[in-house]
Amino acid sequence: MNYRTRNYSNYYEIKLYNNQGQTVQLDKTIRSSDKIELATSKLENGLYYLEIISDDNYISSSKLVIVH
């Protein structure tokens, strides 16, 4: 999955939570473009919550439905 960022920070922390609030994926990445790639192939189908925190404390959150 690709996620397009709206701010221009250099560093991002990406958290993915399942519908029970448990962290199922945590990534830290350095921005090389305005897109962040998130591997979802190992995740089960279902509803997840995505949270992206930039180095300047900008927080973006959204729901994510995974269907393989």
Rounded to an integer, what distance in angstroms lies between the CA atom of residue 31 and that of residue 14? Answer: 12
The domains of the chain, with CATH numbers, are 2-66 (2.60.40)
Q: Is residue 4 predicted with pLDDT exceeding 90?
A: no
Rounded to an integer, what distance in angstroms lies between the CA atom of residue 21 and that of residue 12? Answer: 20
Rounded to an integer, what distance in angstroms lies between the CA atom of residue 5 and that of residue 60? Answer: 9
pTM of the model: 0.78
28-61 pLDDT, tens per residue? 887 666 677 788 899 999 999 999 888 888 888 9
CB 38 within 8 A of CB 3: yes
